[in-house]
Amino acid sequence: MIEAIIELIIPIIIARLIDKSIPSGVFNSIILDAGIMFGLTTLGLFCALICQYHASRASQGFGTNLRKELMRKITALNYNDLDKIESGSLINRITGDVNALQLGLAQSLRLLTRAPVLIIGAAVGAFLINPKISLIFIIASPLIIFSMGFLMLRVMPVIKKGNRSLDEVSTVTKENLTGVKVVRAFAKSGYEKERFTQINRKHFNLNVKANVLLGLINPINFILINLSVALIVWFGAEQVNTGGMTKGEIVAIISYMTQIQLSLIVLAMMSITFTKAAVSSVRVKEILDISAPPLSSKELPAFIPEKINFNNVSFSYAQNASILQDISFEVKKGQRLGIIGSTGSGKSTLSNLFPRLYDCDSGSITMDGVDIRDFEVQSYRKLFGFVPQAAALFRGSVRHNMLLSNPSASDLDIWKALQIAQADTFVKELPGQLDFNVEQGGRNFSGGQKQLLTIARALVSNPPIIVLDDSSSALDLNTDSRLRAALRESLDPSSILIIISQRIHSIADCDKILVLDNGHKVGEGTHSELKKTNEVYKEICHSQDYED
C-alpha cells in the first residue's frame, strides 16, 4: 500500500518540477524535488521487495500445506473413493493444480492489493487536476472491464476441458510406463504411440484455443487505453493553448493514465492466472470435499481377537454388479482359514474386507461381536499383516521396506521374518544385504523374490492376524511348502492365519476352508470333508491332479 501511495505522489512532484521549479531557475528547488522523488522511489523499491519476499513465503507455505493436506486426504480415503478418480488425475491435482493456486495467491498478495489502489488513486488524482479530461478514462473503463469479463467467461470452460485432457495424458502415460513390457511383448508400441498422439493433440488444441482467447485480452486493453491517452493528449493540448491547464498538469495526467494502463495490464495478466486458479480450485476442492467414513475414537490395543465373523456380507465395486453376495462364516483364534475358488469368484475382494480396505455394502463384519467400522481404522489395521496379490516394494533399501510394518524393529527381527518367509537365503547373497538398494517397484528382484519380501515385511510386526492374498503364486511348490511349514512352526499358536489361493496344496492343511464360486459361498469345512461333499471343491482338486 505504501508503494502504491508513493507512485501516486510522484506525478504531483513531477508537475511541480515542470511548472514551478524549472521555470524559476532556482537550482536548489530543482535538486530538492529530484531528491524527494529519488527518496520516495527508493522507499517504494524497499517496500516492493518486502512485499515480494513475504508474498513468496506465504504462497509457498500455502502450496506446501495444501499438498500435505491433499496427500493426507488421499491416503485416508477408502478404496471406493479412490476407484472413482484416476491416479493420473490425482497426480495432476496435487502438482499442477496446487501450483496454479500457489501462483494465484502469490499474485494476489503482491499485485491484487496494489493494482486497485493505483487505478482508483490515479483516477481520483486525474479528476482533481481536470475533471473534464478524466471523463475519458471513466468512459473507457467499463469497456475494458466488459471485454475482460467476456473473454474470461469464454475461456473458463476451455481450461476445464484442458485440465481433463491433461488427466487423460497422464493416465495414458502411466499405463504405458507401468505396462511397457506388455506393450512391447505384443508389439503394440506403434498403437500406443498413436493413442498417446491423439490424446496429446486434443490437449494441444484445447490449450491453443484457451491461449488464443487469453491472448486477446492485452491487445484489446492496449487499444482502448492508448486511444484514451491519445484523446487526453489531444484535448489537453487545446487546454494548454487556451491556458486552462499547465504543461505539468498534462504530464501528471498522462502519468496517472500510464499507471492506470499498467495496472489494467497487470489485472489482465492476473485474470489469466486467476481463471486457471479458479478451475484448479474446483478440482482440488473435489478431493477435499470427499466425505471420508466417520472416524471412531475406539482404538484397539495389540491383542488377538477370539473370533472374526462375516454376517451376510455383500459387496460390489462402483457401478458394477455384486461381487460378493450374502457371505457368512467365522474364523476363530488360532485357526488357519483357507479361501479358494476359481478366477473371479471374489477371493481377493473378500481379503480386502478383512483389514477394511473396502467396507461391505450390506451385512456386517464383527470382531469379538463389535462391528469393525466402530474401531479407529489405523489401530484396527495394525492388527493385520496384509500381503496383497500384487507384490509391492518401495524404492530404498531392503531394511527400509521391512521397517514399513514396524519402524522400531531391530535387524534381528527383520532377519527372523526373512527366515520364516524363506527370503533370508537370497538376501544374504545381496551386496550389502539389508542395505541393498531396492529399485522402484522392486524391479531388480524376480516375481517370487518380491512375494517373499512382501511376506517377510508383513511378519516383521508379528501381527496377530495375517492375510496372504494369493501371495505364493510365483513360488515353486517346494518353496511354498517350506513357507507354510515355517509359518506353522513359527507363528504364535493363537494367531489367525488366512490364506487365499488357487492352489489346493496351499490350503489343504488349513483348519477350515471356504469355497467361493461366482461371489457365493458354496462350501465350508476341512479338506477331507469338502473333497467328499462339495462338487466345486472336488472339481478344483481334479483339475489340479491333487492327491492326498
What is the CATH number for 481? Answer: 3.40.50.300
143 and 272 inside one domain: yes
Query: Is-contact 158 206, C-beta < 8 A?
Result: yes
User: Residue 119: pLDDT above 70?
Assistant: yes
Determine the pLDDT at residue 270.
78
Report d(CA 531, CA 515) in Å as an integer. 11
> Residues 346-376: pLDDT tens digits?
888 888 888 888 888 888 888 888 888 888 8
Lowest mean pLDDT among 17-21, 133-137, 436-440, 481-485: 133-137
More confidently predicted of 241 and 512: 512
245 and 373 inside one domain: no
360 in the Ramachandran plot: left (φ > 0), alpha (ψ -120 to 50) or beta?
beta
In a domain, 146, yes or no: yes
User: Residue 388: pLDDT above 80?
Assistant: yes
Pairing of strands 336-341, 496-500: parallel
284 and 374 inside one domain: no
Closest C-alpha among 349, 338, 356, 444 to residue 401: 444
Q: Choose the most confident range, by mean pLDDT, from 58-62, 174-178, 425-429, 468-472.
A: 58-62
User: Residue 258: pLDDT above 90?
Assistant: no
Q: How confident is the model at residue 319 (pLDDT cuts 50, 70, 90)?
A: low
449 and 342 inside one domain: no
Determine the pLDDT at residue 546.
67
Q: How far is CA 234 from CA 37, 230, 263, in A?
A: 28, 6, 23
Residue type, position 292, single letter: A
The structural domain count of the chain equals 3
358 and 261 inside one domain: no
Determine the pLDDT at residue 65.
92
Please classify residue 173 by burial: count the beta carbons closer than 10 Å to its beta carbon, then call 0-12 exposed, 13-18 middle and 19+ buried: middle
In a domain, 422, yes or no: yes
Percent of the chain exceeding pLDDT 70 equals 96
In a domain, 218, yes or no: yes
Determine the pLDDT at residue 299.
63
> Phi/psi at 516 (nearest 5 deg)?
-110, 145
Determine the pLDDT at residue 296.
54
233 and 244 inside one domain: yes
Residue type, position 258, single letter: T
Determine the pLDDT at residue 297.
56
Helices (H), 334-464: 347-353, 377-381, 398-402, 411-420, 424-428, 447-460
Q: How confident is the model at residue 440 (pLDDT cuts 50, 70, 90)?
A: confident
355 and 436 inside one domain: no
What is the CATH number for 103? Answer: 1.20.1560.10
Enclosing H/E stretch for 333: none
105 and 56 inside one domain: yes
Q: How far is CA 465 from CA 76, 78, 415, 418, 514, in A?
A: 22, 21, 20, 18, 17
328 and 345 inside one domain: yes
In a domain, 295, yes or no: no
Determine the pLDDT at residue 164.
81
Closest C-alpha among 57, 35, 45 to residue 2: 45
Query: Is-contact 463 409, C-beta < 8 A?
Result: no
Q: Is the dihedral of CA 478, 483, 488, 490 positive or negative?
A: positive
219 and 329 inside one domain: no
In this structure, the dihedral spanned by the alpha carbons of residues 24, 26, 32 and 37, taken in order and rounded to 10 degrees, is 40
pTM of the full predicted structure?
Answer: 0.66
- For the record, the C-alpha cell of 223 comes out as 487499444
Half-sphere exposure of 8 (CA within 13 A, CB side): 22
- For the record, the C-alpha cell of 143 comes out as 469497456
Query: Is-contact 386 426, C-beta < 8 A?
Result: no
User: Residue 62: pLDDT above 90?
Assistant: yes
Query: Is-contact 374 296, C-beta < 8 A?
Result: yes
Q: How confident is the model at residue 138 (pLDDT cuts 50, 70, 90)?
A: confident
Closest C-alpha among 171, 167, 155, 170 to residue 206: 155
Closest C-alpha among 333, 388, 313 to residue 357: 388
26 and 89 inside one domain: yes
416 and 470 inside one domain: no
Q: How confident is the model at residue 302 (pLDDT cuts 50, 70, 90)?
A: low
Give the residue carrying C-alpha cell 502504491.
4
> Residues 179-208: pLDDT tens digits?
777 777 777 788 888 888 888 898 899 889
Residue type, position 492, single letter: D
Q: How confident is the model at residue 172 (pLDDT cuts 50, 70, 90)?
A: confident
Percent of the chain exceeding pLDDT 90 equals 4
In this structure, the dihedral spanned by the alpha carbons of residues 506, 509, 512 and 516, taken in order and rounded to 10 degrees, is 30
In a domain, 438, yes or no: yes
Query: Is-contact 327 521, C-beta < 8 A?
Result: yes
Instruction: Supply the DSSP string of 446-500, one letter for each residue.
Output: -HHHHHHHHHHHHHHT--SEEEEESTTTTS-HHHHHHHHHHHHHHS-TTSEEEEE
Report d(CA 470, CA 346) in Å as an integer. 12
Residue type, position 384, single letter: F
Length of the chain: 548
In a domain, 212, yes or no: yes
262 in the Ramachandran plot: left (φ > 0), alpha (ψ -120 to 50) or beta?
alpha
> Residues 66-76: pLDDT tens digits?
999 888 888 77
Mean pLDDT within 212-227: 80
DSSP state letter for 301: -
Mean pLDDT within 223-246: 79
Determine the pLDDT at residue 91.
82
Enclosing H/E stretch for 328: strand 322-332
Rg for the chain, CA atoms, rounded: 35
Residue type, position 340, single letter: I
Work out the mean pLDDT of the chain and round it to a whole number: 83
In a domain, 217, yes or no: yes
Domain boundary among 257, 288, 319: 288
Instruction: Supply the DSSP string of 396-414, one letter for each residue.
Output: EEHHHHHTTS-TT--HHHH
Report d(CA 543, CA 548) in Å as an integer. 14
Determine the pLDDT at residue 42.
92
Question: Could you list the residue range(s) of the whole structural domain that residue 418 is in?
Answer: 393-463
In a domain, 201, yes or no: no
